[in-house]
Structure 1
Amino acid sequence: MRYRSSDEDSARWDGFPFREGDIIISTRSKSGTTWMQMICALLVFRSPDLPAPLSDLSPWLDWLVVPRDEVFARLEAQEHRRFIKTHTPLDGLPLDPRATYVVVARHPLDMAVSLFHHVDNLDRQRMAELLGTPAPTETSSPPRPIHDSLVAWINRDVAPADAMDSLPGVMWHLTDAWRRRQDPNVVLVHYADLVNNLSGEMRRLAARLGIGVPEEQWPLLTDAAGFTQMRARAAQLAPDPVGILKDGNAFFHRGSSGAGRELLTEEELTQYEKRAAELAPDDLLTWLHR
């Protein structure tokens, strides 16, 4: 299946030359993408001292802002084990047995709140310039309060492929991955597990990827993957290779769980749960909402 938006196109994966050991990080926006890229970087290089900015080491292949040939050439030149970012669901990617596909899931309400903050931090003029599209027009209307935006997001009825960061889009992405969770080269990771047991999740992922880490190095790597350390290194780690963020530090907004539920009334939370039950299987929701 092909997925397209104003700034990404999954067709850019067509003809991609995979290598043995490639790691494909498939997430929805603001669901732990950069966190997982950093974890993979730490496991691959076995050091917090990365040889280049994270977005150079782990480019977003689908992103239309950077020419496809340039991304392919950069990946071809890499001699280390490659780890590549995508927001495309697994059913839109070539599934190569030489690669491992890591899908990170986050409670959708928390993902949505983080996304609203992220959108406010984007330089729309710069995005339009890079994409060759008309510059956005200024509006004098005040922004919608985040609570109202979240309620509207819950109730929005849209085809998943038309809005992949909508609730239907999020559930489509995760449901597809959930159905493949027994595949030997598919790994599901929960954002809450990274928050609550970062060391254990990093060790689990290292085992799935076949990466050995000396025991004495684990504390250093785990510390470097923590939210505080990553935010302190925003200039190197924030995904902003072409200058679209107003504030790189603001990209690392909160790094915890529960923000979405804090904004909703009991009635609104019940409405979310009803919508979620219409869009995803019960066993996935039990895992996702725990």
Structure 2
Amino acid sequence: MTHFFTDNWEKVQNFQARPDDILIATYPKAGTTWVSYILDLLYFGNAEPERQTSIPIFIRVPFLESIFPGFPTGLDLADNSPTRPRLIKTHLPVQLIPKSFWEQNCKVVYVARNAKDNAVSYYHFERMNKGQPEPGDWNNFLQNFMDGKKVFGPWYDHVCGYWEKKKTYSNIHYMFFEDMVEDTGREVERLCSFLGLSTPIEERKRITECTHFEKMKQNNMTNYSSVSVMDFKISPFMRKGKVGDWKNHFTVAQNEHFDEHYKQKMKTTTLQFRTEI
């Protein structure tokens, strides 16, 4: 972990959730901003249209554990959030989520992305984000990813941890990035069902169109272009949003090595991913 996520640790752990809070949890670069924007539009798109054009998504959906210099902490943003429900995002693995979220029986939306595409996206993110450690070259990064030596820990533990939690905690909606790319409208409908929202079909269609990757990439309220620690000259925050881009990065040898390691790491879980659609 970097100090940007640990400097406020005790306060984060003692965060007081409310029963109507909605927690968006993901491993980094798995579709966090996409789902955040969908949820924000579902709840507040009609009621507060000016929110969409004047307040960046990272203010609307506070990043709970973040504490970046010159910027309100995620905790402050969450505590001062004017909306009900509060939409809050986190990259913490399931065992580090503040206990009050479970105690208050909050709804949790978890998004998982296949390990290969997730690794590629995370690599490019570390290249352009000064708040993250230097990734080194792709081969070095991939080995660190497999070893779990990444900010927020091993991908394997993260995706499996929330998958297991689902067995004992019914208020988790587990989504897959690949399903969202394949049919965003269907996934929005499933989200509405989980959240108990009776959003009209026309409105769901509009939200699906607004949250299309290319539109979000051009939207200054969702593309993180105003965040100074990110160097867009190296890579955009929203890069491709595709399934299967890993094929442009993995060598045959890397792929074989990764597959072998993956089999070992995932042998005890029922969780399954698609690496292409």
Please tell me the TM-score bracket, short chain as reference: 0.7 to 0.9
> 2 CA distance for matches of 1:200 and 1:50?
27
> 1 CA distance for matches of 2:231 and 2:152?
21
The one-letter code of the counterpart of 1:113 is: V
Aligned to 2:83: 79
SS in 1 for 2:84: coil
> 2 CA distance for matches of 1:82 and 1:281?
37
SS in 2 for 1:276: helix
Shift of 1:271: 1.7
Aligned to 1:5: 2
Aligned to 1:140: none
Q: Which of residues 231, 234, 237 is equivalent to 1:251?
A: 237
The one-letter code of the counterpart of 2:164 is: R
**Pairwise CA RMSD of aligned residues?**
2.9
1:184-195 matches, cutoff 5 A: 184-195=170-181
Shift of 1:152: 2.9
Question: Any gaps of 5 or more consecutive residues in structure 2?
Answer: none
Contact kept? 1:175, 1:281, Cα under 8 Å: no
SS in 2 for 1:188: strand
Aligned to 1:163: 150
> 2 CA distance for matches of 1:193 and 1:50?
30
Contact kept? 1:164, 1:170, Cα under 8 Å: no
Q: Greater CA deviation, 259-268 or 56-65?
A: 259-268
> 2 CA distance for matches of 1:287 and 1:119?
24
> 2 CA distance for matches of 1:151 and 1:76?
37
> 1 CA distance for matches of 2:3 and 2:75?
21
| Cα deviations by residue, 1:155-206 (Å, 9 ceiling, x for unpaired) | x53xx4x53456xx00011111111223311111100011001011011011
Aligned to 1:104: 111
1:92 is aligned to 2:96: yes
Contact kept? 2:114, 2:273, Cα under 8 Å: no
SS in 2 for 1:180: helix
The one-letter code of the counterpart of 1:218 is: R
> 2 CA distance for matches of 1:287 and 1:71?
31
> 1 CA distance for matches of 2:41 and 2:216?
12
> 2 CA distance for matches of 1:13 and 1:96?
15
Aligned to 1:42: 41
Give the direction of change, closer, same or farther, for the CA distance of 1:110–1:11 in structure 2 (3 Å limit): farther
The one-letter code of the counterpart of 2:210 is: A
Aligned to 1:152: 143
Give the direction of change, closer, same or farther, for the CA distance of 1:266–1:120 in structure 2 (3 Å limit): closer
> 1 CA distance for matches of 2:232 and 2:3?
22
> 2 CA distance for matches of 1:176 and 1:70?
26
| Cα deviations by residue, 1:196-247 (Å, 9 ceiling, x for unpaired) | 01011011011111122122212111101110110110x2113466521122
TM-score in terms of structure 2 length: 0.83
Aligned to 2:246: 260
1:115 is aligned to 2:122: yes
SS in 2 for 1:244: coil
Contact kept? 1:26, 1:102, Cα under 8 Å: yes
Aligned to 1:55: 58
TM-score in terms of structure 1 length: 0.79
Shift of 1:58: 0.6
